[in-house]
Structure 1
Amino acid sequence: MSVGPNSLTCVPPLGQGDEEHRQVLASFLLCQLTEEDLTQNPLFCRLLGSLSQHVDHTGLTLPLRRELEKAEQELQLQRLGWLRSEGLFQALQEMIQEHFVRKYHSSTTAENEEFYETLEQCLLVAQAVRQLDPSPTVGQDQLPFLGLSAQNILDRMPSGQDVQRMKQRLLTALSGHLKKKCFTILTYYQPDWENESDPLKSLKLSRLPEILQSESRKAESLGEKSKESAALLQRHMHCYLSELLGCIQIIQSLILDHRIKAQKELDVKRVEYLDAKCQIVTRKIRLEILELQMDTYTTEKIAAHRRIRNELDGELSAVRAEKRSVESALSSFEILGRDFEALVEQYSRLLQEIDNKSWAVKEFSQHAA
């Protein structure tokens, strides 16, 4: 079911004018509450109404909310301080890395080499001291790492004159590096400003935090409005679904009532249709069989089959007559009994001996010649 902006305006306001219901639903957006729940439980609705005066929309009490906001502010200050120091440290490291990259592409002066070497050494010492400095939550009696103390690391600092010269130049170099990074961020935010002059870029850069902050607030406002619209849409969807379920139930009851009356006629029509369809299919099958027989048995093939059948019938008659004669001879032989069998065996033996003698005479005649 699609819900468009025009259909939302047709929905009656939630609570049907009940201000208490709207207040409870607006105060507890995170809870899956519906107007139907509040209507069915009026005492629970009153309890939530009185409770909404002491808690916010997230469920926290007002004093706890103030303490939480204070803690978040302190955390924000601590985080801001850490981000400042960490950002400064990262910027100095980037300056050193860029110097080493430039050194491989072009020659540098001895003053630059001394400045960046002193800066790198100071950063390494500061980082090592920070790693060796124990946290307040760690016991002071803990053994130092590799037997080193912060003072041992501070002894590796460059000379005071080198550090002083490095500090005199550091502010200018760091300002230029940060200005370059700020211009990069500005052109990333608005690429059309890349070809403008540095004073104009500086002016726009000074207004960039306000622009980003206003856009952030606008995005947060749009996010809140989106959440409220989503909650409102969910409640409207619940109303629509309730109405839709009611309509579906009515339609189902109408369908059941009318289908029982029309079922008999529908069954009769269906049986008649299936019967007619069965007859058509049967006739079609019979037609296919006849067409297949006509294609298979032509006039010439039928005449040839008839001639073959006549010849086979004649041979079958001759075989049957021969069978009858053989059976009659066999029956006459069976009447003679065992004596005839002995004579047959003797006759066979004599025939075999005659054949043997004839073969011997023939062989003898060939060798004698």
Structure 2
Amino acid sequence: MSAAESTYVSTLGKGDSLHQQVLASFPLCDITEEDLTQNPQFCKLLATVAQHVDQSGLTVPLKTELEKAEQKLQSQRRYWLRSEGIHKALQELTQDHCIRKHHATVPPDQNMFYETMEKCLLVAQCIRQLDPSSTTNRDQPSVLGLTPQQMMELMPSEMNVQRMKQSLPRELEKHLKTKCLSLLSYYQPEWENESESEGLKNSKLSHLSAQIDNEKKRAESLKESSRENSVLLQRLTQLYLSEQIKCIQLLQSLILDHRLRIQTDLDRKKLDYFEGKCELVLQKIKTEMVEIQLDTYKVDTISAHTKMREKLSSDLKASQVEKHSVELKLASFKMLGKDFEALAEEYCRLRQEIEINTWALKEFTECKDK
């Protein structure tokens, strides 16, 4: 960095002042003050670059050349607009004449003037189409094989042309003045007053261009102000969104910490609540069962049923215990193998025979006693 650049950077200020001036020097760049704070060397680089470019990013020499080109372009544009305006005004004069002669009788001299002007315009337009300029291909074929010299033969007589040229400035001035007064009435309707003198109207008309120019400058100023406000609004919006994101993150962390702290108490309260609710439901079920029994049976019957249920429950428990004991013995018997299984079958067969013989002996004994 040179001494001049270092001096420039030092004169910009420090801290927030430097950041604000850098942001103002590059309004089109999507950077924030936080970016400049985190990158101080980049901030100094932008501060150095700011003395070589303008807010649009153009260098000083290029800006000068651009201004010269724009001035030249504006000069050429004014010249073209002046020629085009006169040409349009002449066409409007011929059109007004065509409309006027269909509604009223036109003096012969005026009729000759407008016909001569119309022919001159048509011939000039045709010659412009037939005569190629320096930017076109001169070898291209002409339209219908015509040449500009042939079109010049269609011009009106020299005397009529001279008369037309003498009267043309006066008629053109009158037509343009009428259009200017119409523009004045459109731009400032409150100025329209038939009783005003011609001089007063001309005075107001002479100030019209200055007023339009002031309005144009005012519109450009408002446009520039609107652009600056838009850039400022965009920057403030980014800052607001950044701060809002930070607030949301902080709020999320607070919510998470608070939720972790109260989660244990909340779970315990929920557990107590569900236990109490389950107990209440069980009590309600018991109550409903008692009501159903009372509606179905008498009190003595319910007491008998209760005793029967107790007796059956005890018998069921005893049977289950016996069943479990028998299953254990059976399992121990199965461990002895197939030989023991054959002995068990033989034992069962003998038991059956003994039971049958015992029953038969009992019956025989009873019959003998009778």
Report the TM-score, using the length of structure 2 for normalisation.
Answer: 0.66
Q: How far did 1:17 drift?
A: 5.0
Q: Does 1:122 align with 2:120?
A: yes
- Change over 3 Å in CA distance of 1:16–1:246 after alignment to 2: farther
Q: Distance in 2 between matches of 1:180 and 1:132?
A: 35
- Aligned equivalent of 2:59: 61
Alignment CA distance shift 1:116-1:269 (3 Å):
farther
* Cα shift at 1:251: 1.5
Letter of the 1:223 partner, please give it: K
2:181 corresponding residue in structure 1: 183
Give the distance between the partners of 1:257 and 1:134, measured in 2 at CA: 84
Q: Whole-Å Cα distance in 2 between the matches of residues 252 and 16 of structure 1?
A: 36
Structure 2: runs of 5 or more not aligned: 1-12, 285-370
- Is the alpha carbon distance of 1:259 and 1:117 closer, same or farther for their aligned partners in structure 2, counting shifts above 3 Å? same
Of 76, 79, 92, 1:78 maps to 76
CA drift at 1:143? 3.5
CA offsets per residue over residues 33-60 of structure 1, 9 Å max, x none?
Answer: 1111111222221111111111111111
- TM-aligned CA deviation for residue 85 of structure 1: 0.8
Equivalenced residue count is: 265
1:137 aligns with one of 135, 138, 143? 135
Larger CA deviation: 197-206 vs 139-148: 139-148
Identity of aligned residues (%): 55
The question of 1:88 aligning with 2:86 is answered yes
Matched, 1:242 2:229: no
Aligned to 1:213: 213
Q: Structure 1 residue 30 and structure 2 residue 25: aligned?
A: no
1:84, CA displacement in angstroms? 0.8
CA deviation map 1:136-167 (0-9, x unaligned): 12244444332222111111110011111111
Report how far residue 242 of structure 1 moved: 2.4
Instruction: Summarize deviations over 1:193-218 as a string: whole Å, max 9, x none.
Output: 12152322211111111111111111
In the other structure, the counterpart of 1:48 is 46
Deviates more, 1:153-162 or 1:99-108: 99-108
**Distance in 2 of aligned mates of 1:57 and 1:64:** 13
Report the AA paired with residue 227 of structure 2.
Answer: K
Distance 2:42 2:240 in 1: 25
Cα–Cα, structure 1 residues 224 and 17, in superposed 2: closer, same or farther, change >3 Å? farther
Instruction: Tell me the equivalent position of 1:222.
Output: 222
Q: 2:254 maps to which residue?
A: 254
Q: CA deviation at 1:265?
A: 5.1
- Equivalent residue letter for 2:256: L
CA-based RMSD: 2.6
Shift of 1:260: 2.8
Partner of 2:154: 156
Letter in 2 for 1:162: N
Residues 248-293 of structure 1, C-alpha deviations (whole Å, 9 max, x = no match):
22211111122233345556777859x98xx99xx9xxxxxxxxxx
